[in-house]
Amino acid sequence: MDYASSIRGWLPTGRRAIGVNQLFNKLETYLPPAQVDRVREAYEFGAAAHQGQKRLSGEPYIAHPVAVAQILADLRLDAPTIIAAILHDVIEDTPTAKDEIAERFGTEVAEIVDGVSKLDHLQFRSRAEAEAESFRKMLLAMVRDIRVIMVKLADRTHNMRTLGAVPPAKRRMVARETLEIYAPIANRLGIHSIKTELEDLGFKALYPARYRVIEKALKKARGNQKQFVGKIAQNLREALEKAGINGRVEGREKHLYSIYQKMRRKRVPLSSVVDVFGFRIIVDTVDTCYRVLGIVHGLYRPMPGRFKDYIAIPRINGYQSLHTTLFGPNGMPIEVQIRTEEMHRVAESGIAAHWQYKTGDEQGRAYHDRAAEWLQHLMEMPHSGSSEEFMESVKLDLFPDKVYVFTPRGEIRRLPRNATAVDFAYAVHTDIGNHCVAAKVDRRLVPLRTPLRNGQTVEIITAKGATPNPAWVNFVVTAKARAAIRHYLKSLKHSEAVELGKRLLNQALADLGLALKKIPDERVQAVATELNLKSSEELFEKIGLGERLAPLVARKFLPPDGSTPHDPDAKPGPLAIAGTEGMVVTYARCCYPIPNDPIMAYLSTGRGVVIHREACGNLRNYRKQPDKWISVTWQPNPDRLFNVEIRIEVTNRMGVLAAVCSNIASTQTNIEHVSVDDRDGDTPTLIFELQVRDRKHLAQVIKSLRRMPEVLRVTRALA
């Protein structure tokens, strides 16, 4: 039946009608008639909803949902997914409501459609935030039903196929997003066919000139190599037949983006990438895969270090194959992949295999479970940050894993390349990451920032009172670790800002003869409300972060007549600094203040209190804002170390740097950083950043250095 002809009012005949018929012909090959009829009903509904709408190319809009559905039909997706594909834009682009879809086609379809829809009805500060929040919503919907991303990937694939009608600036933006987000997601879900098409289309739109150069070179190489490839394939087939193995040999087509990526990654010219021949050998069982590996290694000599067993240890997206690289005729490299029929099917379809052959398909179920586990992992990351931060974390988590390490019990953990012991700790459990203090790799203690290598056994040592170190953010590479550390630091900064805000407000109130403890909670809440803040805690936080000035807030607590009451308990005085205030009190790196230095404090928006030495040359930059200055003093015996910078002029002789470092170490002082200013070759200056307790400790270090004959002068850095 020519179904398109029955609704000519909605879709013209011709090429577009052929597309509709192709969709239903495909569906009839694997769906029961009743389900195909449901898809027809959805098509009628969608065509009516989009009636009169056109795409930028000028064709009726309904042609796009039909094309999306056809991409999913090629993957043999189930009827609810096909229906959702046909209706995926009706909520966003027509007056149709989600409830109407749910009533007509079921809640299952409505949830998929809603998950794919964008958030155009919400207002955001920027386009980046809108896109990130839309993506976040899509991931949340994917957790409930992973078919959401299947529809979204097919939608993006067809949009990329028709990107020529889009203005150039938007074309590049969409292409970049495709390469950074959607192609990696397709790869993570193991859908090789969509992943490669998205990569090539994105590459073509983002770098058209580079695409044309590589495409031309690849076409030329195929012509020159056709006979060569046929000869190698024949040799492989004959070797299999001689061993009595049934299998097929295919030439493996290279796609342009993978060639471009390899050129960039390995910094090699185009010719050395194009001249690599790829073959795929597909057999019946896993045991046969390993037998074939021995046969091809006997036929051609293998390259050392170029064998990978993805059958024993699958990639994170579930991909399985044996990979080996051989020296072919005339020394030309030959890349060979060996896999079973089932591995080949799932490698092409990935998670879609779960819906293709549900009955008795353990591997398809494994793909589905693995993808669901990954999505759940993304949702477990703390979401206290912005949508852009969440998007960044997802990008970090999308790229293929390269390191396989073991727990002490022998369990395999897959981590990205350059993952550290801290990444491993958070991969095991967030609580273990938050409380880790040390790590053992192959039973030897290593620094927490140590990158892990394949095959290592990692043990994490925890302590009950331990907390994440802010410096960890600088070297962790997994999204889960980064998000967990950021979440902790934000919570810590909040509590510290609240406490500092109370102290600053109390100090400002004391100047007015008031005391915070004497002011009723209701009055504090009223002032917060007057300032459009939700709670007194938020008021204290804003003061602690420098976003509200304590003296101005304090004046709101004065009586209506403006008189200044006298409270004998209110004792104005400088803010006492203990050195343990954490993230909301920072010490300026221009002058490196340490205990017992005369100091002043400046209230910086978002950073809280910044401490400077009174003699710091940078203070003149802040003199124009006296209302942001705070009088501060040191509490006795602060319980921490402070960084300080000293400059040491020395005579230029061999071993002087080692001698100076040894002298500093003898004073029980830690060296954080050292650099050399060698502008005057005869008397170079050594610049040390040290950790000291106070001025007395620093004086001991300087006194010890001045005794050295090689040292000409020691000074403390000051801006």
Please identify every residue annotated as catalytic.
92-93
Runs of H (alpha helix) within 286-361? 286-299, 341-349, 353-356
3-state helix, strand, coil split of the chain in percent (to 5) is: 55, 15, 30
Beta strands 412-415; 333-340: pairing state? unpaired
For helices 63-74 and 147-161, the axis angle rounded to 10 degrees is 120
Per-residue buried b or exposed e for 474-501, using 16+ beta carbons within 10 Å of the residue's own CB: ebbbbbbbbbbbbbbbeebbbebbbbbb
Residue 691: strand pairing partners: 643, 670
Q: Which amino acid is at 667?
A: T
Q: Which helix (H) or strand (E) holds 335?
A: strand 333-340
Beta strands 277-283; 333-340: pairing state? parallel
6 is written with which tokens? 């029955």
Cβ-Cβ contacts under 8 Å for 156 (sequence gap 6 or more): 178, 182, 198
Residue (of 77, 70, 79) closest to 157 by Cα position: 70
Phi, psi dihedral angles at 53 (to 5 degrees): -85, 145
Count H helices, E strands: the chain? 28, 21
SS (H, E, C) 231-270: HHHHHHHHHHHHCCCCCEEEECCCCHHHHHHHHHHHCCCH
Long-range contacts of 161-167 (CB under 8 A, 24+ apart): 161/67, 161/201, 162/55, 162/57, 162/64, 163/201, 163/205, 164/57, 165/55, 165/56, 165/57, 166/56
Q: Which amino acid is at 413?
A: R
SS (H, E, C) 529-546: HHCCCCCHHHHHHHHHCC
What DSSP character marks residue 473?
G
The answer to whether the CB of 460 falls within 8 A of the CB of 441 is no
Residue (of 157, 161, 112, 158) closest to 137 by Cα position: 112
The answer to whether the CB of 636 falls within 8 A of the CB of 673 is no
Phi, psi dihedral angles at 175 (to 5 degrees): -65, -45
For 67, the 3-state DSSP assignment is: helix
Q: Which amino acid is at 322?
A: L
Cβ neighbourhood burial of 279 (10 Å; 0-12, 13-18, 19+): buried
Alpha carbon distance 361, 286 (integer Å): 16
Measured between its terminal Cα atoms, the distance across the chain in Å is 84
The answer to whether the CB of 353 falls within 8 A of the CB of 76 is no
C-alpha torsion sign, points 112, 185, 404, 292: positive
For helices 208-242 and 256-266, the axis angle rounded to 10 degrees is 100
Q: For tokens 């910094």, what's the residue?
A: 267
Q: State the chain's maximal CA–CA distance in angstroms.
A: 105
C-alpha torsion sign, points 504, 507, 508, 514: positive
Cβ-Cβ contacts under 8 Å for 658 (sequence gap 6 or more): none
SS (H, E, C) 433-486: HHCEEEEEECCEEECCCCECCCCCEEEEEECCCCCCCHHHHHCCCCHHHHHHHH
Region of 305 (left: φ > 0; alpha: ψ -120 to 50; beta: rest) is: left
Q: Return the C-alpha torsion angle 514, 516, 520, 521, nearest 10.
A: 150
Strand ranges (E), 542-587: 575-577, 585-587
